[in-house]
Amino acid sequence: MLQRRQFLQSAAASVSAAGLGGCDPLGLIAPTNNLDIQRAQYNVMPNLLTTNMVSLSADAPPPILRAKQGVPFTATVTNRLPDYTTMHWHGIRLPNEMDGVPYLTQFPLGKDESFTYTFTPPDAGTYWYHPHCMTMEQMALGLTGALIVDETENPGFNNDIVLNLRDFRLAKDGQFKELFTPRGAARGGTLGNVLTANWDQNPVYDAKAGGLARVRILATDITRIYKLFLPHTRGRLIALDGHPLLTPLPWPTEQDPLTLSPGQRVDLAIEMPEREGEELSLMAQVGGRGRNLARLRAVGKPEQRKLADLKPLAPNKVSEPILENAETHEFVFGWSPSGDLPNNGFCGTLGYTFWSINRAPWPGDASGTGPLATLKMGGSYILRLRNESPNVHPIHLHGLTFKPVRSNKRTVLPNWTDTALLLKEETLDVALVADNPGDWAFHCHVIEHQKTGLAGYLRVA
């Protein structure tokens, strides 16, 4: 079992080795991949202990897990909760039976039951893990963590900092309020009121003065769509959703922030200031004003490294779809045509059906009426995602990687991804090669939408 003491010892060791002081999120690396899902408590708000959280230790956030590109990864997950659960490895192209989706790829885990997940990650980059059974409750209570797949060659940064962004819905006494509202579920989702990075409010992390820091930002919140920017910072976006950028994205500013929706990740390369003690801020637009989410502090004897010193990240080997031969499948995301209640099974229900794909709401634990589409193994496809609603939807596809190719609302860039934000009343075409066999979940990552009908699956055979 992971304990807070182990996290602190690991943090101290990494800080000492670097000759730095302060807090380093790499201290949150799990010393073992024997993972116990359990109740936890933590000071999310100053001097207030939030109880009834869910993590992989009793008193710390879910740890950073690290794997190596092309090297087998194994994690044994044991459920210590009274409720059922599974673990999903978001963005990883893995064997279908390791995907962690209840009743689609495995049975859910009851109390004290274990499942060993084994896969060889083909892609380096920033990914994450979360439950896919009792999803709304367990994610809202804290169970979202980073899975970092390191490149085969060290890309040469001085620091590698992971920022797991998420909200909590807490009352003034630091305890959880209701996790969602029906009104929120039927609209854009129910926002949290306490914004955190790695479960802390506006934490500060030390990085080498004058060095190059890799900052991995993960949006693991169940609802919030972040508008991020870094004022007075020299940097470059180097990867999106795990994959090195094929087409550059502009550096996020207050006037032109980066939109990061639930499920998405972005990697930044940042030139740290040379003056010791100077800080850089990651900020988000919240309620019409900028809000600090986390800070980077320059420490140590300064170096004079520049972005030009970095070699481009090696691209992951993703099959390129042949667009002229691609078959098109259309998926309509909208409200449910009926108010039938979802199944009240082992993996929980919110008690409402509001949303649907192609007029068919996901019924709950059962696998529904079959796949939304069957794709031929090795074939090139265009998925036409049509949003009939006035709400936005981050659409996530398990097990496969795709790229946007066209939209009726905006210019899109053809960067590889597994989660695409579908704007209100937008039709977005994305292209892929169906090169991973199995039944792959396909859903909105606003979890209230997913749990009230906006989910299904695609079959690759």
pLDDT 10s digits, 234-247: 999 999 999 999 99
Q: What is the mean pLDDT of residues 360-373?
A: 78
Domain 4-309 has CATH 2.30.110.10: no
Q: Please report, as a single letter, which amino acid is at residue 56.
A: L
Q: What average pLDDT does the structure give for the chain? A: 92
| Confidence label for 14 from pLDDT (cuts 50, 70 and 90) | very low
Alpha carbon distances (Å) from 99 to 37, 56, 74, 257: 17, 19, 13, 33
| Confidence label for 3 from pLDDT (cuts 50, 70 and 90) | very low
pLDDT tens digits, 263-305 = 999 999 999 999 999 999 999 999 889 999 999 999 999 999 9
Q: Quick check: helix, strand or coil at residue 447?
A: helix
| Confidence label for 368 from pLDDT (cuts 50, 70 and 90) | low
Residues facing 440 on adjacent strands:
458
pLDDT for the residue 124: 98
Angstrom distance (rounded) from CA 167 to CA 69 = 30
pLDDT surpassing 60 at residue 396? yes
pLDDT surpassing 90 at residue 331? yes
CA 249 to chain centre: 19
pLDDT for the residue 460: 99
Nearest CA among 376, 378, 350, 374 for reference residue 363:
350
pLDDT for the residue 13: 32
Query: Would you list the domain boundaries of the chain?
Result: 4-309, 323-460
Query: Cα angle at 404 between 398 and 409, to 5 degrees?
Result: 125
What is the dotted CATH code of the domain comprising 323-460?
2.60.40.420
pLDDT for the residue 2: 42
pLDDT tens digits, 152-189 = 999 999 999 999 999 999 999 999 999 999 999 999 99
Same fold yes or no, 4-309 and 323-460: yes
CB 395 within 8 A of CB 427: no
Q: What percent of the chain has pLDDT over 70?
A: 90
pLDDT tens digits, 87-130 = 999 999 999 999 999 999 999 999 999 999 999 999 999 999 99
Tokens at 416, concatenated:
């590889």
DSSP 246: S
CB 280 within 8 A of CB 230: yes
H-state helical runs in 19-156: 135-140
pLDDT surpassing 60 at residue 367? no
